[in-house]
Amino acid sequence: MLRPVVLAVAAALFALGLAGCATQGNPSITDHGLYMRLKLDESTKADVYRQLHQPHDVIATYDDHTSWVYLRVDSRTNVLTFVPLVGLFAGGSDDTIHRSVLTFSPDGVLRSVRTMSRDRYMNTWAGLAVGVNALATDEAEGRVRAEMARLGIELQAPTIKGIKAYD
C-alpha cells in the first residue's frame, strides 16, 4: 500500500523538477563545431550569420569595430523554491549563462571570437526587479535591427528580451 504512494510522490517531484527547467537564447552557441567553421581574418558577417544566425546585441567600439553578442541561458528552479515559506524568500533559479562575442573589423571581417560560461543564483524577487528594469531600458533590439538592415537581412524576432539581465 505504501509503494503506490511513494511512486506517486516520486513522479510528482520528477514532473515538478522538469517544469522548473527552461532554456532561452541561441542553442547554437554551445556547439563548438560551428566555431571551427569560422576563420579569423577571413570569415565575414554573412558567414557568421549563416552559422549562428541573428545576434542578441550589436556593439560598436571606439575604433569602428563591431561586436555581435550571442546568449543562451539555461535555468533550473533552485530547490529552496519548493520549501514551504522558505521558498517565498530564498527561492529562485540556478542559471548557466553562455555568452559569445564575435568582433569584426570595419570592413566586416571576423577578428576575434570569445566565449564564456558562468553559473549564478538569482533570487526570485531580485530576478523580477532586474528583469523589469532590463525590459524597460533594453536598446539591443534597435541596434540589431540597424545592423541587419545594413546587411540586407530580414530581422527575426528577438530570442531574449531584456538582454541586460544576463550580462
Mean pLDDT of all residues in 139-153: 90
Looking at residue 12, its pLDDT comes to 45
- Closest to 143 measured CA to CA, from 50, 24, 54, 44: 54
pLDDT band at 10 (very low <50, low <70, confident <90, very high): very low
Looking at residue 91, its pLDDT comes to 87
Cell of 4: 503506490
Mean pLDDT of all residues in 128-136: 76
Neighbours of 92 (CB within 10 A): 20
Pairing of strands 110-123, 92-104: antiparallel
pLDDT band at 4 (very low <50, low <70, confident <90, very high): low
Cell of 95: 542559471
pLDDT band at 51 (very low <50, low <70, confident <90, very high): very high
Say what the pTM is.
0.77
Write down the domain spans for the chain.
22-166
Tell me: pLDDT of 13 over 50: no
| pLDDT tens digits, one per residue of 92-120 | 989 999 999 999 999 999 999 999 999 99
